[in-house]
Amino acid sequence: MTPEEAAVASQDAVSNLTARFMLDPALYAYGASIGFPGMQFYAAGRGGVLGDVGASAVTNAFVFFNPELITANWEGLDRVMPRADAAKEFAGAAAKWADAHMPDDVDCATLAALAEKVAAAASPADAPLFEGWRKLEAPTEPKAAAVHHMNSLRELRFALHANAIRSLGIDPEEALRHRQPHMVAIFGWEPGEPKTPVAGEWAKAEAETDARMAEALAVLSADELDTFVALANAALAGSA
C-alpha cells in the first residue's frame, strides 16, 4: 500500500475513532464531576493543550465552531484548574474510554506504535492542537496508548483539513453545513441549509488533506502501512 492509498483508506478511522470518546456522555458526566459542566470539559480539555492562551487562540484552533460558543466555554475555566491539568484530565478520560471500548482482538500495541511513529515524524506547522496533544505524556497500556496516538493523528488531519479549507477560501461554517449538517447546532450555529454551495471546493480541500496526510504516513514502510490501515479500521469497527 502506498502512503496515498493509506491516507484514503484510514481516513474514516483517523477522523472518527477518537471522536467517539469526545461524543461519549460519560465524558461530560466526568467533566461535570470535576467542575466543568456542559461543553466546558471539551473546551478546557481539548483546548488545554494550548496552555494559558486567550479565547481567540482557541477559537482559531477549533476552526469550525462558532467563536462565541468556544469563548463562553473557555473564559474563566482556569479558576477550576490550570489549563494543562484540564488537558491531562481529558487525556485520562480518553484512556478510560479506550479501556471500555477498544476491542480485545485488535493488536492495540502495534497500532499505538505505528500511530506514534507517524505523529512523531509529522510537522506541527499550523497544527497547534496536534502539537499540544503530541507533547502530552502517553499512557503505556496498549488500548489507551492506541487511542492516545490515534488522537494525535486525528488532530493532525483536522489541522490539515482546516488549513486546506481556509486556503481555498471556504467559510468554515459553510464547510460544516455541507459535511456534517447534523452537527451544526452542536458547533454553535443556527440550523439550516448551506448559504452558499461549497461541494466542489470542499472536495478539493479533502483531496489536499489526503495528499498532506500521505506525506505524514510516508514514514511507514509499505508493510507498516498495510498493518496500520487494517488495525485502525478494525479498531473503529470494533469500538462501535
pLDDT at 194: 80
Report the alpha-carbon distance of residue 43 to residue 58 in Å, rounded: 8
Total structural domains within the chain: 1
Q: How many CB atoms lie within 10 A of CB 215?
A: 15
* 3-class secondary structure, 124: coil
Q: Categorize the per-residue pLDDT at 197 as very low, low, confident or very high, splitting at 50, 70 and 90.
A: confident
Counting Cβ atoms within 10 Å, is residue 35 exposed (0-12), middle (13-18) or buried (19+)? middle
Report the alpha-carbon distance of residue 145 to residue 91 in Å, rounded: 10
Alpha helices per DSSP H over 24-73: 25-33, 40-47, 55-62, 67-72
Per-residue pLDDT reduced to its tens digit, 38-84: 999 999 999 999 999 999 999 999 999 999 999 999 999 889 999 99
Report the alpha-carbon distance of residue 42 to residue 87 in Å, rounded: 9
pLDDT at 88: 98
Per-residue pLDDT reduced to its tens digit, 101-120: 999 999 999 999 999 999 99
The total number of residues shown for the chain amounts to 240
Per-residue pLDDT reduced to its tens digit, 129-176: 999 999 999 999 999 999 999 999 999 999 999 999 999 999 999 999
pLDDT at 3: 98
Per-residue pLDDT reduced to its tens digit, 4-43: 999 999 999 999 999 999 999 999 999 999 999 999 999 9
What is the domain extent for residue 159?
A: 3-238
Number of alpha carbons in the 13 Å side-chain half-sphere of residue 231: 23
Residue 193 has pLDDT above 90, yes or no: no
State the average pLDDT over residues 231-235: 98
Cβ atoms 61, 83 nearer than 8 A: no
Residue with cell 472518527: 16
Report the alpha-carbon distance of residue 233 to residue 228 in Å, rounded: 8
Report the alpha-carbon distance of residue 205 to residue 133 in Å, rounded: 24
